[in-house]
């Protein structure tokens, strides 16, 4: 499963990229607002840090203006994935852009039928939001399982990008279902590395090692 980080904080992105485990980045207008930086400038910087797909979202609602915005975004770098909302105009834009060889991430997906439409429109990524689904009392992971089944039925190449990930359980469940990608905030990705028994084990080994009086090298 590919790991994307869901942030526009370039320091966090650089820190996580240094692990060698980061495959891409997703941003959205709220994350750009949080970063408090110029949108185009920050996307360019992220694209230089991470060679994998970097999602940058259009804000227009009509196809024509979405295409104009996408034109600006895709010129930033070859690894920009233009993010469009799951609407009729968004999917029209997706079809046009992917036909041209541009990566497209279709966002704000809340149903398996929407995911089916995005795949038919040639989306590179479909982003179902599991956390926001859970928030309204619907098990978000059931949506991921449904999309996996449908995409496998028809051999769609669209990658399932599990979004709105809030905790390590979401990551685990997404991996068990066979999602292609998950995008999570930096704090959730950092949580994945940790286990109290790992810490306790290191502590015990180091204590015993100190007793040997030896050094490596």
Question: How far apart are CB 112 and ligand E4P at their closest, in Å?
Answer: 18
Interface with ligand E4P, residue 159, by CB under 6 A: no
Q: Residue 13: CB partners within 8 Å, gap ≥ 6? A: 5, 7, 22, 25, 46, 49, 50
What is the Cα–Cα distance from 46 to 28, expressed in whole angstroms?
Answer: 13
DSSP H stretches of helix in the chain: 10-17, 29-35, 39-49, 63-74, 88-99, 112-120, 130-135, 140-154, 168-177, 186-193, 196-212
Interface with ligand E4P, residue 164, by CB under 6 A: yes
Binding segment for ligand E4P (CB under 6 A), chosen from 17-25, 39-47, 73-81, 129-137, is 129-137
Site map 4..23 versus ligand E4P, x via CB under 6 A: --x-----------------
- Which is the catalytic residue, given 2, 34, 68, 83? 83
Contact 47, 77 (CB under 8 A): yes
Tell me which DSSP letter residue 200 carries: H
Q: Which of 6/159 has CB closer to ligand E4P?
A: 6
Q: Which of 27/102 has CB closer to ligand E4P?
A: 27
* 126 token code pair: 């479909």
Phi, psi dihedral angles at 95 (to 5 degrees): -60, -45
What is the Cα–Cα distance from 146 to 95, expressed in whole angstroms?
Answer: 23
What is the Cα–Cα distance from 170 to 190, expressed in whole angstroms?
Answer: 14
Interface with ligand E4P, residue 131, by CB under 6 A: yes
Interface with ligand E4P, residue 26, by CB under 6 A: yes
Question: How far apart are CB 73 and ligand E4P at their closest, in Å?
Answer: 15
Site map 48..77 versus ligand E4P, x via CB under 6 A: ------------------------------
Q: Which residue has the tokens 């399932």?
A: 160
Binding segment for ligand E4P (CB under 6 A), chosen from 43-51, 59-67, 94-102, 126-134, is 126-134
| Contact with ligand E4P (CB under 6 A) among 5, 9, 24, 28 | 28
List contacts with ligand E4P (CB under 6 A). Answer: 6, 26, 28, 107, 127, 129, 131-132, 163-164, 183
């Amino acid at each position: 499963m590919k790991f994307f980080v869901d942030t526009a904080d370039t320091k966090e992105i650089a820190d996580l990229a240094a692990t060698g485990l980061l495959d891409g980045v997703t941003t959205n207008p709220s994350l750009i607002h949080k970063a408090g930086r110029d949108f185009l400038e920050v996307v360019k910087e992220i694209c230089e840090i991470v060679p994998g797909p970097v999602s940058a979202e259009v804000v227009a609602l009509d196809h024509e203006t979405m295409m104009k915005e996408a034109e600006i975004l895709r010129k930033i770098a070859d690894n920009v994935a233009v993010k469009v909302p799951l609407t009729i105009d968004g999917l029209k834009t997706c079809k046009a852009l992917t036909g041209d060889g541009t990566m497209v991430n279709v966002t704000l997906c809340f149903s398996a039928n929407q995911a089916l439409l995005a795949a038919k429109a040639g989306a590179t990524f479909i982003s179902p939001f599991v956390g926001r689904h859970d928030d309204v009392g619907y098990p978000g992971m059931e949506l991921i399982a449904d999309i996996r089944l449908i995409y496998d039925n028809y051999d769609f190449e669209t990658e399932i990008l599990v979004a709105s990930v809030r905790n390590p359980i979401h990551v685990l469940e997404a991996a068990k279902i066979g999602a292609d990608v998950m995008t999570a905030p930096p704090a959730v990705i950092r949580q994945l590395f940790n286990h109290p028994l790992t810490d306790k084990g290191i502590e015990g080994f180091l204590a015993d090692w100190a007793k040997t009086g030896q050094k490596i090298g």
